[in-house]
């Protein structure tokens, strides 16, 4: 589609098309929306983009996103410091927080081990994790990396690393999604659901 639009519109479509999940069609749709949107709507979006880059950084303890040197969870004295949940990305923290099931603390790795993309253990915040665990306060580490090849490999790597430290290491349960249909589950998930089946009292 190069050259179809004049300069500024095409430039915007190109920039929008670089965003994750935005294909050429969506980029065009968003660009035309911007074109006919009120100037203050666009000013708010520009401001939000600028502010995020200026104000947001990563928590010096856990690696979560934060506007101060430490994130709200690390600053919260009510959070249990003996349970640490290890996740790949800051957005995983949000997903887990939304469940309201977990009251411990987090450690964000910044990704998963992925040899194909050239991501090794040294590229993740694993050294920082080991430093946090050194003082012996943490009693349980929950490995909540993604249930895919990279996430499993990372969990296996970390489980080995934590062996013999006297820390309980666990992994989130795999199984059928709640509210889903059994017939739509893929075979790996269904297999895991069988493997992890639980006795029902009768």
Residues that bind its own copies (CB under 8 A): 1, 4-9, 11-12, 14-16, 18-22, 26, 28-35, 39, 41-42, 44-46, 48-56, 65-67, 71-72, 89-91, 94, 97-98
What's the min distance (Å) between Cβ of 5 and its own copies? 7
**Which residue, 22 or 190, has its beta carbon nearer to its own copies?**
22
DSSP string covering 131-167, please? HHHTTS---EEEE---SSHHHHHHHHHHHHHHTTSS-
**Which residue, 50 or 82, has its beta carbon nearer to its own copies?**
50
Question: Rg of the chain over CA atoms, in angstroms?
Answer: 22
**Which residue, 34 or 190, has its beta carbon nearer to its own copies?**
34
**Which residue, 74 or 162, has its beta carbon nearer to its own copies?**
74
**Which residue, 109 or 162, has its beta carbon nearer to its own copies?**
109
What's the min distance (Å) between Cβ of 176 and its own copies? 21
**Which residue, 51 or 80, has its beta carbon nearer to its own copies?**
51
Alpha helix (H) residue ranges in 56-199: 72-75, 90-99, 126-133, 149-162, 187-195
Could you give the CA distance from residue 196 to residue 121 in angstroms, rounded to a whole number?
29
Q: In what order do the strands lie in the sheet with 168-171?
A: 105-108, 83-87, 140-143, 168-171
Q: Is 79 helix (H, G, I), strand (E, B) or coil?
A: coil
What's the min distance (Å) between Cβ of 165 and its own copies? 30
Could you give the CA distance from residue 138 to residue 57 in angstroms, rounded to a whole number?
25
What's the min distance (Å) between Cβ of 193 and its own copies? 25
What's the min distance (Å) between Cβ of 44 and its own copies? 6
Answer whether 104's CB lies under 8 Å from 83's CB.
yes
What's the min distance (Å) between Cβ of 137 and its own copies? 25
Q: Is 80 helix (H, G, I), strand (E, B) or coil?
A: coil
């Amino acid at each position: 589609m190069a050259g179809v639009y004049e300069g500024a519109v095409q430039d915007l479509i190109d920039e929008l098309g670089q965003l994750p999940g935005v294909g050429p069609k969506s980029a065009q749709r968003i660009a035309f929306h911007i074109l006919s949107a009120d100037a203050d709507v666009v000013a708010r979006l520009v401001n939000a983009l600028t502010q995020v880059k200026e104000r947001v950084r990563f928590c010096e303890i856990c690696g979560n996103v934060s506007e101060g040197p430490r994130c709200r969870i690390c600053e919260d004295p009510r959070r249990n410091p003996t349970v640490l949940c290890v996740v790949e990305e800051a957005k995983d923290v949000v997903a887990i927080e939304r469940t309201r099931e977990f009251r411990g603390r987090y450690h964000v790795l910044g990704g998963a081990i992925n040899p194909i993309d050239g991501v090794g253990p040294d590229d993740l915040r694993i050294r920082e994790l080991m430093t946090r665990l050194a003082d012996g306060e943490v009693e349980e580490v929950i490995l909540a990396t993604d249930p895919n090849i990279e996430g499993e490999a990372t969990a296996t790597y970390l489980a080995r690393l934590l062996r013999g430290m006297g820390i309980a290491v666990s992994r989130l349960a795999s199984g059928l999604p709640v509210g889903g249909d059994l017939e739509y589950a893929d075979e790996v998930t269904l297999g895991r659901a069988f493997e992890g089946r639980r006795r029902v009292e009768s």
